[in-house]
Amino acid sequence: MKRIIYIILFVLILALLLKSCIRRDIPDADISKTNVLKTENTVNYPPPAQTVTLDGIDYLQAQTPIGKYGGELITSTIGEGPKTFNIFSSKDATSSEMSGLMYDALFSTNPQTGAVEPKLAKNYEIKNGTVYIVNLRHGLKWSDGAEITADDVIFTWNEIILKGLGNTSIKDAVTIDKKLPKVIKTGKYQVQFIITKPFAPFLRIIGAPIVPKHIFKDVVKKGAKEFDLFYSTNTPPEKFVVSGAFKLKEYVAAQRVVFERNPNYYMIDKKNQKLPYLNKLVYLIVGDLNNEILKFEAKETDIISLKGSNVARYKAKEANSDYKIYNIGSDTGTMFIVFNLNKRKNADNKFYVNPKKQMWFNDLNFRKAVDYAIDRKSMVQNIANGVAAPLFTAESLNSVYLNKDIKGHNRNMALATQLLYKSGFKYGRNQKLYDKYDNKVEFDLYTNAGNTEREALGVMIKQDLEDLGMYVNFKPIEFNSLVNKMTSTLDWDMIIMGLTGSPLEPHDGKNVWYSNGSLHLFNQRTSRDTKDDRLDFEKELDTIFDKGALETDFKKRKELYDRYQQIIYNQKPIIYLYSPTRIVAIRKKFKNIYPSPLSGVIYNIEEIYEDKN
């Protein structure tokens, strides 16, 4: 396995100057930490899109300036590319992003306020907090010309989501007191979602993508295995039937993914011309961050997220360049290391994790020692070059539910050593760490190969923990292999990983924190694990997420989610590292760009156009 060791070229003073430069010169788009999100920047967002009915069709009319047709926007993706184009089988961010382009949802999120807005839905009504009446737009069509109706919504929910086909995250999120919602058709263009009691995040969750019944119905009948293979990366592009602004045109493994405009898309501009403006949206599969930079500098791509030292260099050139830089605030996701606390056995009656490692990882003093040995400040300065902040919470720094009372701590090797001594660890020859049974403390640390930021973190964490006497085998591996370890074989020790998140709704992370969640990484359970062997803090997390979803008062919800963050900080099954500041450069020729801390830069891809003048 190829290992990349990073030589840090910038000293502390340069990093501090860089941080100061960013704060002073780059337009700030941070969101406030209040119940009602407000952008605090100079971006003049257009009004929300409006419904306009023409010839019996309920179009969604964009309120952005009129654009020009033609051209293409070329972006890039790190790693091996998409694993599937099935929106409901996706388990990685790349696949979800690309399949999400092709399938619109009932609702979307306002990029400025975070409010839920109709998309495929025309409007909605909530009765008694338990009945959600959703009216669909009339006259919308799938890309093959078939009409989009309530039948597609009912099929998507009742036959795919609620039956747990593919990724079960949505099903997990809408389960209330172990009961699923009822989804019924009440008209050709109307559906009702019925739940047993008021459920705060429900409206946002039911804005899930909708797929065409006439395309998916046959494969659904064949069961979960066939469903997961449906719309794979081997599917001919002409087979895709979509509702989104773009449709797959070409996929070349390890090279590129090309999408073309969907002529049946239901959004129009203020002249009632059909969107999108762009002919193509292209993703180049670049492998790693270094190749991504090279592609942008060679003008082979049009947009890039900048990391670390590249920010200052690109900022210095911006005035005489063909690109513009945006600071869109703290990342909405989180970066962390996770311990494998699993004490169970697999189907072959073998432990997933070596018993002696189980003992270490399930020792709170051991986990605390690891936490205090990690040098977050050095990570921020040396890997992110100051364009980040240390992170200690399970919620991102821009979350409206952030627990501000968790202040974190500096690296403290003396305290880390004391914690190890408390649990009987000791030092032997060459100051190597041994447990009380004379086992050498040695374990594997994984991350996904090709993500140079995480590989750099791995190198630093390995050194930090070896300073504590631990021996760490750092192993960057192919992403699919890593996912298989995390969710199937469960044979891993520690992993450096990141998860996307929502700054608006902690319940979106239920599948991570709930004890039987599909992404409960630190103590993953399988369908064969029926015994209630939850740890005490897992039981409390389950209770918090049950109560938090049912509580509709923001202040009371905040108190509950503050508590869950405190539990994670105290128990440390996951140790958070830092939160990067999102800095994006995009070619100036692209118009209708309204950077959002909630949604990024090209969230409104159907309204973006290319102006070469």
CATH number, domain with residue 279: 3.40.190.10
Q: Name the residue with higher pLDDT: 450 or 581.
A: 581
131-136 average pLDDT score: 98
**Whole-angstrom distance between the N-terminal and C-terminal Cα of the chain?**
48
**349 contacts: CB under 8 Å, gap ≥ 6:** none
Burial class of residue 437 in the structure, from the number of CB atoms within 10 Å of its CB (0-12 exposed, 13-18 middle, 19+ buried): exposed
Q: What is the pLDDT of residues 78-98, one digit of tens each?
A: 888 999 999 999 988 899 999
Q: Which amino acid is located at 466 in the chain?
A: E
Q: Which long-range contacts (CB under 8 A, 24 or more apart) does 220-226 make?
A: 220/155, 220/159, 220/160, 220/165, 224/164, 224/165, 224/166
Q: What is the pLDDT of residues 538-556, one digit of tens each?
A: 999 999 999 998 888 889 9
**pLDDT above 60: residue 9:** no
Number of domains in the chain: 3
Give a yes or no: residue 600 inside a domain: yes
Judge if 405 and 494 occupy the same domain: yes
Q: What is the pLDDT of residues 97-115, one digit of tens each?
A: 999 999 999 999 999 888 9
Among residues 279, 233, 275, the alpha carbon closest in space to that of 260 is found at 279
pLDDT value of residue 450: 82
Judge if 314 and 347 occupy the same domain: no
Question: Predicted confidence band at 36 (pLDDT cuts at 50, 70, 90)?
Answer: very low
348-356 average pLDDT score: 93
Average pLDDT over all residues of the chain = 90
Task: Calculate the CA dihedral of residues 90, 91, 92, 93 and round it to 10 degrees.
Answer: 60
**pLDDT above 70: residue 7:** no
Q: Name the residue with higher pLDDT: 140 or 22.
A: 140
pLDDT value of residue 92: 85
Instruction: Read off the pTM.
Output: 0.81
**pLDDT above 80: residue 17:** no
Q: What is the pLDDT of residues 282-296, one digit of tens each?
A: 999 998 888 999 999
**pLDDT above 50: residue 367:** yes
The percentage of residues in the chain with a pLDDT greater than 90, rounded to a whole number, is 76
**pLDDT above 70: residue 5:** no
Integer CA distances (angstroms), 58 to 68, 96, 189, 200, 532, in order:
23, 27, 12, 29, 50
375-391 average pLDDT score: 92
Judge if 344 and 311 occupy the same domain: no
Give a yes or no: residue 364 inside a domain: yes
Judge if 270 and 415 occupy the same domain: no
Judge if 21 and 116 occupy the same domain: no
Both tokens assigned to 181: 């919602």
Judge if 349 and 429 occupy the same domain: yes
185-196 average pLDDT score: 97
Judge if 183 and 316 occupy the same domain: no
Cα radius of gyration (the chain): 25
Give a yes or no: residue 166 inside a domain: yes
DSSP string, 157-221: IIIIITTT-S--HHHHHH-BTTBPPEEEEEETTEEEEE-SS--TTHHHHT--B---HHHHHHHHH
Judge if 573 and 606 occupy the same domain: no
Instruction: Identify the domain containing residue 171 by its residue range.
Output: 50-65+80-229
Judge if 274 and 147 occupy the same domain: no
pLDDT value of residue 296: 97
Judge if 309 and 349 occupy the same domain: no
Question: Predicted confidence band at 210 (pLDDT cuts at 50, 70, 90)?
Answer: very high
Judge if 322 and 203 occupy the same domain: no
Looking up residue 427, the CATH number of its domain turns out to be 3.10.105.10
Beta-bridge mates of residue 327 = 28, 583
**CA angle, residues 10, 13, 18, in degrees to nearest 5:** 75
Judge if 589 and 540 occupy the same domain: no
Q: How far apart are CA 172 and CA 176, in angstroms?
A: 9
Looking up residue 95, the CATH number of its domain turns out to be 3.90.76.10
Q: What is the pLDDT of residues 457-475, one digit of tens each?
A: 999 999 999 999 999 999 9
Last residue of a domain, one of 165, 199, 229: 229
Both tokens assigned to 197: 């009691």
Question: Predicted confidence band at 332 (pLDDT cuts at 50, 70, 90)?
Answer: confident
